Amino acid sequence: MRLNAGFAALLAGILLYLGPALAQGQVITEGPDSVRVVIPDSLQAEKGFFLFHLKDLDRPEKAALWSAVIPGGGQFYNKAYWKIPIVYAGVGVLGYFLVDNNTKYQSFRSALLLRADNDPATVDKYANNPDFPSLNVSNGKSAEQYIKYRRDYYRRNRDLTILLCIGYYGLQIAEAYVHAHLKEFDVSDDLSLRIRPGLVPVATPYAVAPALTFTLYTPSR
């Protein structure tokens, strides 16, 4: 009887000790049986990993993220509203040249393919076009050379415009990031300039030259 009472007390102590840990377990049921799986605290913390780091971003990083998601978003976040039309003006200009160059490239490319197939039944748009006399089919091989030159010209312009679009996209992200940094940069209205003589190293090892140092500082009050 005393053995049973001691065993019951020991079992109750173990359950009380393991109770909080078992309470965090997740029950996965398949059929008649169930398995209790204990989720470690580290895995539970990773559930909010992405949102946690988004909330940890500082103002410049958020501005850059907004500009990366949508052009001009970082400028809007920085409340530099006058910059948004400039951003979209650049987008519009680059978009126009991208579409225009690609359209002309595709047009001359198709014309060159039709000239090269030697099928009299297929006639390209420049074969007898009075607006492009140098490209008329009556000029023979020289017309094909002109078409090839224009095809390569507009393809090169299209590829260059794509690179400019990528660069412009990165530029507006960098502008939003730098602007947010400058907004956080605290510059006092009460600044003084201190000029002092000093020594600066020169190209020769262990050699210095006289110079003046200029330092901006806030006078102590």
- What residues contact residue 63 under an 8 Å CB cut-off, 6+ apart? 74, 77, 78, 176, 177, 179, 180
pLDDT tens, position by position, 39-59: 555 544 444 444 446 677 888
* Domain ranges, ordered by start, for the chain: 57-184
| pLDDT above 50: residue 25 | no
58 contacts 74 by C-beta, under 8 angstroms = no
Is 26 a residue whose pLDDT tops 50? no
pLDDT of residue 185: 64
pTM metric for this prediction? 0.60
pLDDT band for position 9 (50/70/90)? low
- 29: β partners: 34
Q: How confident is the model at residue 27 (pLDDT cuts 50, 70, 90)?
A: very low
DSSP H/E element including 49: helix 49-56
| pLDDT tens per residue, range 71-112 | 999 999 999 999 999 999 999 999 999 999 999 999 999 988
The band of 3, judged by pLDDT with boundaries at 50, 70 and 90, is very low
The pLDDT tens digits for 124-182 are 888 888 888 888 877 878 888 999 999 999 999 999 999 999 999 999 999 999 998 88
Contact 202, 209 (CB under 8 A): yes
Asked whether the predicted pLDDT for residue 205 surpasses 80, the reply is no
Query: Between 162 and 33, where is the model more confident?
Result: 162
